[in-house]
Amino acid sequence: MSSQPVALPPTRKSGEEGRLSALIQQYSPFSIPGFTNSPGVAQLIPSRNRALSIRSNKSRGNSSQNGGRRGNGGGGFSFNSLRGNVQPELSRKLYRLIKSENNLISAHEAAGRERVSIATQLSEWGEHTGDESISDISDKVGVVLSEMGELEESYAHALDDSRAYLKAIRNTEKSVQPSRDGKSKIADDIQKLKMKEPESAKLVVLEQQLVRAEAENLVAEAQLTNITRQKLKEAYEAEFAATIERAEKQILLAKHGRRLLHLLDDAPVAPGDAVAPYPHSQQARQILNDAEDDLRDWQPQPDEFGVAPPQNEPLLRQGTAGSESLVSSDSPLQGSGVGLKGKGTSTYDEVTESGSGTQGGLRDNDGLADEREQDEAQLRA
């Protein structure tokens, strides 16, 4: 008895794959004869000028930079990446942006601490040189550098405040995602029921639920649009204002630092000649007083775009304890007690988040909720 191959009936999975493949070929624009050869295809594909956008050639740029392998930031596993993946799809990209902003803030804080440490080391080195002029100028320059470090740390705090506005957008996106999912689920249920039972009475109930879900989603999407535009503008208004303040104050400090360096006599001394005495101690103290006055009197100025500053007070705080060791009585140099921290006042105002009530999510309409419960009871019956 010869064995004949038995033809197995097609499975349900293979049949679904066949129908899916046919639908893809039917509705794919590239399956239309002559479509790919038409001269207008290149115009349909959007192109970006690389000089105007960083989004063009993104995948090619990543592959060339990483050499085709996973390098730094190549998407390796970490708990942060895991948290990003479990976020709702709508808020996932903004979640990663906020995490990257946090890394930037940490970098600015570290730079500020390093600047203060360098200023302290400069002052201590100048004291041990035995040269009165170098000792005094290095101590005063250390005060200026230390104040720059404090500005850097204060700038990091301002960035953290601006990040709160982005969090408001992220929270709103997370609250809108269930509304989108609910509407899509009801629409899918209607399509499935039409295929199985076209005359079912449940279709009427589901269609009513779909109308209400679309209305709720319409309100949620409008709220998301309004909050996104408002908070995005507020976030980067605060960041740019803090950047301008930091830059202008650093320019003031740098100019006074150059005034201090001008007091140091760098004329060559012949071997055996006596070093000229240092007569500029009081003048160096006055330069620090001038720098302190300039920082205290600084005020944000309205720009040419007609946008007023977010607040009348400066964003960056003045007068922390980071550089007091350079100017207090415990300084390595006695008599250098005049510094930029003498006033001890603080002009720092945190950028508070306006409209915090929008972060709590969307308010449900009680009437719509009652009708939805009645529809579900009818479906169960």
Average pLDDT along the chain: 71
Inform me whether the pLDDT recorded for 287 exceeds 70: yes
More confident residue, 130 or 146: 146
In tens, the pLDDT along 298-336 reads 998 887 765 555 555 555 655 444 344 334 433 443 334
Q: How confident is the model at residue 112 (pLDDT cuts 50, 70, 90)?
A: very high
Domain 80-263+280-308 has CATH 1.10.3720.10: no
A 10 A CB-CB count for 180 gives 16
More confident residue, 157 or 18: 157
pLDDT score recorded for residue 180: 79
pTM (two decimals):
0.59
Inform me whether the pLDDT recorded for 118 exceeds 90: yes
Query: Among 99-113, 195-209, 263-277, which stretch is predicted with the lowest mean pLDDT?
Result: 195-209
pLDDT score recorded for residue 125: 94
Mean pLDDT, range 283-299, rounded to an integer: 93
Quick one: DSSP state of residue 336?
-
Q: Is 352 left (phi over 0), alpha (psi -120 to 50) or beta?
A: beta
More confident residue, 216 or 37: 216
Q: How confident is the model at residue 197 (pLDDT cuts 50, 70, 90)?
A: confident
Give me 190's structure tokens: 């209607």
Inform me whether the pLDDT recorded for 41 exceeds 50: no
pLDDT score recorded for residue 289: 94
Q: What are the residue ranges spanned by the domains of the chain? A: 80-263+280-308
pLDDT score recorded for residue 87: 64
pLDDT score recorded for residue 65: 46
Candidates 94, 150, 89; CA nearest to 117 is 150
CB 348 within 8 A of CB 174: no
- Residue in this structure with the two tokens 């105002």, named with its chain if needed: 349
pLDDT score recorded for residue 333: 39
Mean pLDDT, range 137-156, rounded to an integer: 94
In tens, the pLDDT along 224-234 reads 899 999 999 99
Inform me whether the pLDDT recorded for 23 exceeds 80: no
Q: How confident is the model at residue 209 (pLDDT cuts 50, 70, 90)?
A: confident
pLDDT score recorded for residue 334: 36
C-alpha 339, offset from chain centre: 34
More confident residue, 245 or 316: 245
Classify burial at 66, counting beta carbons within 10 Å of its beta carbon; exposed 0-12, middle 13-18, buried 19 or more: middle
